[in-house]
Amino acid sequence: MAVVSSAPTGVEVRAERPLRDYTTLRLGGPARRFVRATSADEVVHAVRAADAEREPLLLLGGGSNLVIADAGFEGSVVRIANRGWRVDGNTVTAEAGEDWDELVAALVAEGFGGLECLSGIPGLVGATPVQNVGAYGVEVSASLVSVDLLDRPSGEVRTVPATDLGLGYRTSMLKGTDRAVVLRVRFELGRSGEAAPIQYAELARLLGVTAGSRVPAPRAREAVLELRRAKGMVLDPDDHDTWSAGSFFTNPIVPAHELPPVLERVERIAGPDARMPRWPAREGEKLSAAWLIEHAGFGKGHSGPGGRVSLSTKHTLAVTNRGTASTEDLLALAREVRDGVGTAFGVELRPEPLLVGCVL
């Protein structure tokens, strides 16, 4: 175990801390060792200390994209809690532990545009480039400049430009690896007070504009929050539809040569007039996971083991804890949905959240 006595002054170190208290699913067993780091230096120290002792390490941000096993984590969990952000011209530098939506709200209030369509997304700033977070036609990659990160193999802190991060649909070279720890993030944003061009049809309809139009950033933010609340995607401790990891499955991208048999199944199951949402993608076409789930027979509120978990009553992409669930309950329902879509349409759904100590 990493040496506790050498930790910087003010670092909180605890044993057997329940991780369910730190995830939006309210699921997850205890961490053998829990460290709360409130500055980038403390994050670096905690990670280096764990690595020096060859201690298994889990980095914990807002807990909005994690599914943690009921057994918990047999190692050190470092809670990223370094806060703060600053502006230099049009460049915004934010610490990894800054709350994402609080940052977006503050930037919109300051007259910045570009991130407003990413309003209401739970989690911390440091996770956004890892996942290349996106919503309503906008991705973090559109405004990301660089990240400061700790390279664990070398122990060095360095700045990496966005162009070197391998950013793609809900992914980057940082995803699925524990080689690097994001410490802070930089964005380049416009300061005209206008939102990025509205690209998403549902958002354009709500705003009463055509695709490609621009509106004031505060107006776009409020519209996005309205849409997300209607889908149970804005955190509310009293609403079990928000006890989730957000969208549990990513929209599948089907290569062009595999698409015809999928479309044949769509027509056979949903009828010749079925209108499944589809979008062009570099590798083929991106299909709507929510549409596939619903038409495979899993409607809103579809219940899992003992009624302890269900699909959200507002949105079929969210797998939710109804209050007394276990992680295994959640995974059982997710497997049922994944397998059902595969059987119906021949499309494999892949989970979006990180699975810790468990598999789907």
Question: Which tens digits make up the pLDDT trace of 130-140?
Answer: 999 999 999 99
- Tokens representing 147 are 């990240």
| 239 pLDDT tier (thresholds 50, 70, 90) | very high
Q: Please indicate whether residue 170 is annotated as part of the active site.
A: yes
Q: Please indicate whether residue 143 is annotated as part of the active site.
A: no
| 11 pLDDT tier (thresholds 50, 70, 90) | low
- Indicate the average pLDDT of the chain: 94
Q: Which architecture does CATH list for 12-80?
A: 2-Layer Sandwich (3.30)
Of 170, 214, 229, 350, catalytic? 170
The pLDDT score that the predictor gives to residue 177 is 87
Mean pLDDT, rounded, for 157-164: 98
Domain borders along the chain are 12-80, 85-230, 240-356
From CA 320, how far away is CA 355, in angstroms rounded?
15
Which class is 85-230 in CATH? alpha beta
8 A C-beta contact, residue 35 and residue 100:
no
pTM for this model (two decimals): 0.87
Q: Is the pLDDT of residue 3 over 60?
A: no
The pLDDT score that the predictor gives to residue 4 is 32
Q: Is the pLDDT of residue 251 over 90?
A: yes
| 7 pLDDT tier (thresholds 50, 70, 90) | very low
Give per-residue pLDDT as tens, 206-228.
999 999 999 999 999 999 999 99
The pLDDT score that the predictor gives to residue 253 is 95
Percent of the chain with pLDDT over 90: 91
Q: Is the pLDDT of residue 151 over 60?
A: yes
Give per-residue pLDDT as tens, 267-293.
999 999 999 999 998 889 999 999 999
8 A C-beta contact, residue 185 and residue 82:
no
Which residue's structure tokens are 């804005």? 234
Closest listed residue to residue 100, CA positions, set 117, 82, 86, 118: 118
Residue type, 1: M
Give phi and psi for 209, each to the nearest 5. Answer: -130, 170
Of 247, 310, 312, 326, catalytic? 247
8 A C-beta contact, residue 323 and residue 241:
no
| 351 pLDDT tier (thresholds 50, 70, 90) | very high
The pLDDT score that the predictor gives to residue 10 is 53
The pLDDT score that the predictor gives to residue 13 is 79
8 A C-beta contact, residue 350 and residue 359:
no
Q: How many CB atoms lie within 10 A of CB 86?
A: 10
Give phi and psi for 330, each to the nearest 5. Answer: -60, -45
CA 135 to chain centre: 10
HEC profile for the chain? CCCCCCCCCCCEEEEEEEHHHHCCCCCCCEEEEEEEECCHHHHHHHHHHHHHCCCCEEEECCCCCEEECCCCEEEEEEEECCCCEEEECCEEEEECCCEHHHHHHHHHHCCCECCHHHCCCCCEHHHHHHHCCEECCEEHHHCEEEEEEEECCCCEEEEEEHHHCCCECCECCCCCCCCEEEEEEEEECECCCECCCCCCHHHHHHHCCCCCCCCEHHHHHHHHHHHHHHCCCCCCCCCHHHCCCCCCECCCEEEHHHHHHHHHHHHHHHCCCCCCCEEEECCEEEECHHHHHHHCCCCCCCECHHHCEEECCCCCCCEEECCCCCHHHHHHHHHHHHHHHHHHHCCCCCECCEEECCCC
From CA 193, how far away is CA 197, in angstroms rounded?
12
Q: Please indicate whether residue 17 is annotated as part of the active site.
A: no
8 A C-beta contact, residue 162 and residue 141:
yes
Mean pLDDT, rounded, for 320-342: 98
Q: Is the pLDDT of residue 345 over 60?
A: yes
Question: In degrees, to the nearest 5, what angle opens at C-alpha 215 toward C-alphas 213 and 217?
Answer: 135
From CA 149, how far away is CA 230, in angstroms rounded?
36
CATH code, 240-356: 3.90.78.10
Give per-residue pLDDT as tens, 84-94.
999 999 999 99
